[in-house]
Amino acid sequence: MKDEILLKKSNDDFSDRVLQIVMQIPFGKVTTYGHIAYALGSKKSSRMVGYALNSVHNRDEIPCHRVINRNGELSGKLHFATPTLMRELLEGEGVEFIGEMVNLSKHLWIPETV
């Protein structure tokens, strides 16, 4: 039981730190799950970043739509109200696409390591 509480607390702390970084992503920019994980000192935890975002993707004040995969693809789009909403939100911020991928050379934002 004690280990469960410690694990939950640890995961909650990680999720809170993920959200703190996501809240810093500038309008018109994107970052990747991997860049967030690296900034948190846990470069192999990009999947955990995705899990943290899945729990809050429907909260409008958290710009989850600005987090994409390392190739520039919108791998989280299925967690939005419609399959096109994530792209629509990004395009509304002026984010450009090359086919189905975000133009990372123009829109990538890399968070500082914390």
Task: Supply angle C-alpha 19, 36, 12, rounded to 5.
Answer: 40
Looking at residue 109, the DSSP 8-state letter turns out to be -
Backbone angles phi, psi at 80, to 5 degrees: -100, 165
Show which residues are catalytic.
64
Rounded to whole angstroms, the Cα distance separating 53 from 96 reads 23
